Amino acid sequence: MAKPTPVIPPKTYLWCDHCRRSYAHADLVAGACPVCQSPVREMGKVSAILRGLMANELVAGGIGTKHRQLVRLTWTRNGMGERYYKALQPGIPYTKFEARVTDLLCQGAEAGWVRFVFPPAPSADDSAYRVEFDSDERFVAELERLFTPDPPA
The whole domain housing 83 covers: 63-147
CA distance 92 to 84: 13
Whether the pLDDT of residue 8 is over 70: the answer is: no
Same-domain check for residues 21 and 91:
no
Phi and psi dihedrals of 56, rounded to 5?
-90, 10
Same-domain check for residues 114 and 97:
yes
* The pLDDT of residue 64: 82
Whether the pLDDT of residue 58 is over 60: the answer is: no
Same-domain check for residues 69 and 49:
no
pTM here is 0.62
